[in-house]
């Protein structure tokens, strides 16, 4: 451990309760000048009276200037310690999820802030979300290799948040060999994920539980999957017995992935694709008189920053309005959001606003969130970001 990071008097309550973030305005900068630290430096976080709160790595240029990885103890961020954290996370996944396809490491919730690792069987795809954890890359790789003996590890350090921090994009194989496309199974359905060129790590495991619910909603239905990417929702709807599925995305590469995944499951006769901006395609479908029994709207995060909440809520309302306009009476809308800054209550209000503008009534049937491979830290609400709402468009009452 390199040195100490002292907090101001009275600034220790949140950390003492189990939180993992140290904010720059909580630091006693007379005793611990932030300019004396570099990203990744290891520190012992201490109360004003010197009592130990835990071990952290530094991010001195950020509002969150330190992140704890060992609460209540002095501990180096060594491959041995990281191996213990990885092994604990692995045991949690193996206890609840069949197969070897899941989010293995989910940052703060698994005790390794800034690190995300998705598992695709014998292969791992990892992301570094800040400069601090990136300074410990060698120890992270050693720990992952020790615990899982993977055939290869791919680094996808090319997120928007990294660019906003001024960090360079990095996409490279850092251990073994990794093919450009990796197989996975979710809810018994096969997929091929473009881990090298696709979005994020190549796949989105977070909606696993909500997509499993399609078994009760999709059989015999005409399904529209908006913002489909490579068909996580649409292909599973077809596998659950949907009569026809239309996947919409702006990316030709993503839709080629939909078609490949349909063929992989022998579903190509029931899965079609349409390229274009979501709002434009949905309006065109309405102009064509199309209707669907199940409409799934799972957009990218419309709210990236807290200051964008008001504008973002309007965007969610608009896209759900367009979805409801294509939904047959009695049909089901699945509305999803991955915007951490959008509350579940605000998503429900956006859906209700969309229903009002569509001159129809909706009722919520059930709601979902992220799966157990995205565990929520009770003191860090930012670790709970995913929402899904299943609601029925009511048919006119018959007299």
Comparing CA positions, the residue from 258, 251, 198, 195 lying closest to residue 231 is 258
- Going by their DSSP bridges, the two strands 222-226 and 271-275 should be labelled as unpaired
Could you give the CA distance from residue 274 to residue 199 in angstroms, rounded to a whole number?
A: 19
In which residue are the tokens 């999820």 written? 97
Strand order in the sheet with 152-157: 101-106, 115-120, 123-128, 152-157, 170-176
Could you give the CA distance from residue 116 to residue 126 in angstroms, rounded to a whole number?
A: 5
Could you give the CA distance from residue 147 to residue 102 in angstroms, rounded to a whole number?
A: 16
247 a catalytic residue:
no
Comparing CA positions, the residue from 104, 230, 254, 180 lying closest to residue 171 is 180
Could you give the CA distance from residue 373 to residue 208 in angstroms, rounded to a whole number?
A: 9
Comparing CA positions, the residue from 337, 346, 392, 338 lying closest to residue 366 is 392
Cα 166 to Cα 12, 131, 132, 136, 161, distances in angstroms:
30, 10, 13, 18, 9
Could you give the CA distance from residue 142 to residue 280 in angstroms, rounded to a whole number?
A: 47
Could you give the CA distance from residue 378 to residue 325 in angstroms, rounded to a whole number?
A: 38
- Backbone dihedral angles phi then psi of residue 80, each to the nearest 5 degrees: -65, -45
Could you give the CA distance from residue 279 to residue 318 in angstroms, rounded to a whole number?
A: 9
* SS3 at position 105: strand
Set 240, 338, 360, 391: catalytic member? 338
DSSP for residue 74 = -
Q: Which residues on adjacent β-strands are paired with residue 297? A: 226, 335
Catalytically annotated residues = 338
């Amino acid at each position: 451990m390199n040195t100490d990071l002292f907090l101001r008097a009275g600034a220790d309550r949140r950390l003492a309760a189990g939180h993992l973030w140290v904010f720059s305005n909580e630091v006693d900068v007379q005793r611990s000048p932030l300019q004396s630290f570099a990203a990744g430096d290891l520190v012992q976080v201490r109360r004003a009276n010197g009592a130990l709160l835990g071990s952290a790595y530094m991010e001195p240029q950020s509002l969150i200037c330190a992140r704890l990885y060992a609460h209540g103890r002095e501990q180096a961020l060594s491959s041995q310690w990281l191996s213990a954290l990885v092994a604990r996370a692995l045991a949690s996944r193996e206890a609840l999820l069949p197969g070897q396809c899941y989010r293995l490491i989910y940052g703060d919730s698994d005790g390794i802030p800034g690190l995300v690792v998705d598992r695709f069987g014998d292969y791992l795809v990892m992301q570094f979300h800040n400069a601090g954890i990136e300074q410990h890359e060698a120890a992270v790789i050693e720990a992952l290799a020790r615990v899982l003996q993977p055939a290869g590890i791919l680094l996808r350090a090319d997120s928007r948040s990294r660019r906003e921090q001024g960090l360079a994009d990095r996409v490279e194989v850092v251990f073994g060999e990794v093919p450009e496309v990796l197989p996975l199974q979710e809810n018994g359905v096969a997929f091929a994920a473009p881990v090298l060129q696709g979005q994020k790590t190549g796949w989105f495991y977070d909606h696993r539980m909500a997509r499993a619910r399609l078994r009760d909603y999709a059989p015999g239905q005409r399904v529209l999957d908006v913002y489909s990417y490579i068909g996580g929702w649409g292909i599973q709807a077809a596998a659950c017995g949907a009569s026809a599925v239309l996947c919409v995305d702006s990316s030709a590469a993503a839709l080629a992935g939909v078609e490949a995944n349909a063929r992989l499951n022998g579903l190509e006769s029931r899965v079609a694709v349409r390229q274009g901006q979501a709002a434009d395609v949905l309006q065109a479908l309405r102009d064509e008189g199309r209707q669907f029994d199940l409409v799934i709207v799972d957009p990218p995060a419309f709210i990236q920053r807290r200051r964008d909440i008001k504008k973002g809520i309007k965007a969610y309302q608009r896209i759900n309005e367009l979805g409801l306009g294509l939904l047959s009476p009695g049909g089901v809308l699945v509305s999803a959001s991955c915007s951490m800054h959008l509350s579940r209550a605000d998503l429900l209000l956006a859906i209700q606003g969309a229903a009002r503008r569509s001159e129809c009534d909706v009722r919520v049937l059930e709601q979902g969130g992220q799966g157990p491979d995205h565990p929520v830290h009770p003191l860090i609400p930012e670790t709970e970001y995913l929402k899904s709402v299943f609601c029925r468009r009511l048919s006119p009452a018959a007299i």
